[in-house]
Structure 1
Amino acid sequence: MHDLSLSGFWNSLRHRRPDEAPRRYRRDDLMKTVEAVVDGTDSRIRLVRGYRNTLQSVIGAAQDYTDRLVAEIPGAIEVSRRTFLSDPYVNAFFVDVSDLQLIFSRSSEVRDFLENCGREGVRECCALLCMQRSEKTVLGMKLSGDILRKEVPQRTVSFSDHRIYSPAPTEEETREGLRQCLFNGLVTNALERVTRLKLDSRQRRSRLRMLQSRLNHLEHRLRREKNDGLRREVEHTRQQLERLRHDHAGTGEASPQDSLQQVVAVFGRPDEFVRLRKVSLRLNKMGICIEGDSGEPCNRLELTEAIINDSPPRVITLARFPRDELLPRTAVSGPGLFS
């Protein structure tokens, strides 16, 4: 969710206010949701007879899909100094305690939320934590029985490019915000397709007008100048014009029906925009994958990765961050400050 869709999705997460309830796309009023989707894509869709009936089923099914998707995300983990030692996920996701505190403290959303809600007795925030998972092969040492083997190929896993979205007081509010943002992402994707359709139509008409104008000009010149080169140019332009008309015969201007079809295409297959996949890993404390039946101590991690359109997958988890671990502004510096 196409770079526009991808950025639109993450931006909708970033810019959702913590106190913003998901009022626009409500499960208890499907018809209002249909009208909101039409407003968000192409209001001309209302000119199509029966558009409400056409959209009700696909939009309702898309809401069910986003609900199931959010329900698949495991429960929130506490990300703190204490859990860095006790929680294998926190230990794997961050380099050290300073790393995790800096990442959360540099988030303008987290900082604004915790600082503004501190007076209301909120002691932590729950947010969506996203990361890039990377793997590489290195040469290391491995103990086989009583023998220490050197330069053994080992697969290491690391997590980087941490992003934090949509902080809220509770896990349920974060999940509700995520449901809304996933649905908004579908609207953004549909709008992108409708916009591209209209743009293609305008560009096609502009190209036709340009070629027709050029042909008229060349034919006018040819009537005055009997020139073989000019005659060939006239013929070439005429062929271009005929080819363009043939290739786009019957397409015409993008119609309300065309826009409706684009919306149906997106909401009818929400899994093509966003989907989740599960990844199982066995990692030791050094971030090295433990393969096979090795008896080496390790932690089994069950990760959830989100894939938006064809973009690289990102590990996602819900994370609770304590307010008392937020670093002072004076202690936070360097790249990514309050991003």
Structure 2
Amino acid sequence: MGFFDRLWPRKRALPVQETAQTRALVERLIVLSPSLKLARDYRERLRPALAQSITYVRDIVERLPPAREASAANWLADPYIHAFFAVPDEIAHVLSRSPDLHAWFESHPLARETWAVLGMAMNERRGFGVAQQGDHVHADVAQTTLSFDDHQVRVCGESEADLREHIVQRVVEQIALEGLAQIGADETRRDALEQERALLRTRRQLLTRQGAGTQKMVGERAIANAAELAQLQAQIEANEQALAALGLKTDALEHEMDVICDVLTHPAQHANVEMKHVRLSPMNVVIEHGAPGGGAEIVFPLAHLPASPQGVRAFSLIRFARSDLMPLPRVLDEDSRFVI
């Protein structure tokens, strides 16, 4: 310890306190990847990384717009529900397709309503339409129309606060899954590199043997073999460097823990939410900023999940009543009538 350190000792960073949420998420990660439990001080190392992801995700979730009542009676009054669904009768029918929604109500027999996350695919269609400017009606005016389809309900809660906590947990789990996917990709790459190394070494051994005996004495193909040997040696060295970058198999546990902690410490790289601000006419035509006319301004989140095959999804928090839930077999039977 230096002289100044003895005069003014530095404060040690306090360990992150374990909460019920971080404890539950640690246990969840152990279920997803049991080998993490074998890593050195796995709880102490996961806790601060999880805390960073939780803080980041919770900040986003707290800024989400309040839940909307998803019902036919509210379709005309609520510009959000009006924008998300084409007609009022569609609301109960579309949402009742969700097996998760049915399962939630079955597991909460006394609940009269639920709060849920409604995920949707947002489509922007550009075309030409009719628009009124002052006293004049103009045809062939460039317009952008929004529409929403592929409505999905997967996460439900007993209250809006409960739902927001569920969202935090699900998103943090998704970020951790991205780390596990990276580990799996590294292991797959390691296997491929080891197979490649074995093939390259076998090829080098064959070429070396071809240089022995009579071929070496008379010089047959000596120049061609030397050139191929040099190329093979370069490939072997590149292969060894790639394997070295992945680390030793004996260090795999430490590498796995480092990857998970790094991903959880940088959550913005793996999950991001953008707030979409639009002003829509009753026909879901986008009214540009500063343009005349009425319309309703709505703000809804767009989730960017790089690991998700769906890419970007619009979503909204909703409140849905049990009395509006249609029986699942009936909904599926009605849908099947439109399948050719």
Look up the match of 1:275.
272
The TM-score normalised by the length of structure 2 is 0.80
Aligned residues: 309
Kindly indicate whether residue 43 of structure 2 is the aligned counterpart of residue 68 of structure 1: no
* Higher relative contact order structure (alpha carbons within 8 Å, sequence separation ≥ 6): 1
Distance 1:334 1:298 in 2: 33
Distance 1:288 1:224 in 2: 82
Q: Is the 8 A contact 1:45 1:259 kept in 2?
A: no
Residues 278-287 or 207-216, more deviating: 207-216
Distance 1:126 1:225, change over 3 A: farther
- Equivalent residues in 2 for 1:183-332 (5 A)? 183-224=172-213, 226=215, 227-228=220-221, 229-246=224-241, 248-249=243-244, 251-254=246-249, 255=251, 256-309=253-306, 312-328=311-327, 329-332=329-332
What percentage of aligned pairs have identical amino acids? 22
Any idea what SS the aligned residue of 2:287 has?
A: coil
The TM-score normalised by the length of structure 1 is 0.80
Distance 2:246 2:127 in 1: 56
Any idea what SS the aligned residue of 1:86 has?
A: coil
Any idea what SS the aligned residue of 1:287 has?
A: coil
Q: Is the 8 A contact 1:41 1:194 kept in 2?
A: no
**Deviations 1:173-197, CA, capped at 9 Å, x for gaps:** 3222222211211221111112222
Residue 89 (structure 1) aligned to one of 68, 80, 86: 80
Considering only CA atoms, is the larger Rg found in Structure 1 or Structure 2?
A: 2
Q: CA deviation at 1:266?
A: 0.4
Distance 1:141 1:252, change over 3 A: closer
Residue 142 (structure 2) aligned to one of 153, 156, 168: 153
Distance 2:337 2:248 in 1: 46
Distance 1:56 1:151 in 2: 58
Distance 1:96 1:44, change over 3 A: closer
The two structures, once aligned, show a CA RMSD in angstroms of 2.8
Residue 98 of structure 1 aligns with an amino acid whose one-letter code is D
Structure 1: which 5+ runs fail to align? Answer: 1-25
Structure 2: which 5+ runs fail to align? Answer: 1-17
Any idea what SS the aligned residue of 1:201 has?
A: helix
Moved over 3 A (4+): 28-42, 44-48, 50-56, 229-236, 246-252, 292-295
Distance 1:105 1:30, change over 3 A: closer
**Deviations 1:231-285, CA, capped at 9 Å, x for gaps:** 5444432332233335555654252332232122201111111111111111010
